[in-house]
Copies of this chain bind each other. A is one copy, B any other.
Amino acid sequence: MAFTQRSEETRTAILTAARRRFAEDGYERATIRAIAADAGIDPSMVMRYYGSKDGLFAAAVDVDLDLPAVGDLPPERRAETLVRHFFALWEGERSSGVLTVLLRSAITNEAAAERMRDVFAGQVGTTLGPSTEEGTVRAALVATQLLGVALCRYILRLPQIVALDTEALVASLAPTVERYLTEPV
């Protein structure tokens, strides 16, 4: 019952390896065997720690977006703050590809898609202000642009988008996001 230090180490080793494999290969092609090999342990240990592949996946995509409360900012600063935070999340070391895991597998795995909708509804929808219907539509429009750029940059790796640095992207995208947040629908 009590976690020893060693068990906790391999537990996180498995999780790290799982995130990398899920991010690179997607849910279906990431195999328990490969993840275990990366973590330097036996495949059966993965089962003992996380119960099943689904359980491991659920642990791998358990992410906190840690969104800033843009509602407190002056309106003209909200869009830029959001976009900047978005790139910090994707390119940050700490998250280590969780978002890539989530997005990539939300596309082949219905459970992941639902989790993504939940994350969106729960975290994105509310931090943009009171959750009126209009507000969630605005948030969804923002999501189309931000997820689209993540798709092209981190998954499809469109060379023109990969080549741009984040500052140039912020400059291009912030006005779009601002329009979705303010323009009448």
Chain A interface, >50% SS class: helix
- Whether the pair A176, B108 counts as a contact (CB closer than 8 A) is no
Number of copies: 2
CB of A113 within 8 Å of the partner chain: yes
Whether the Cβ atoms of B113 and A108 lie closer than 8 Å is no
Within the complex, which residue of B28, B151, B158, B176 is in contact with A26, where a contact is CB–CB below 8 Å?
B28
A157-185: which residues lie under 8 A (CB-CB) from chain B?
Answer: 157-161, 164, 168, 172, 175-176, 179-180, 183, 185
Whether A89 is near chain B, meaning CB under 8 Å from some CB there, is no
Q: Chain B CB within 10 Å — which of A140, A149, A157, A159 has the most? A: A140
Question: Interface residues, chain A, CB within 8 Å of chain B?
Answer: 25-26, 28-29, 104, 106-108, 113, 116-117, 120, 136-137, 139-141, 143-149, 151-153, 155-161, 164, 168, 172, 175-176, 179-180, 183, 185
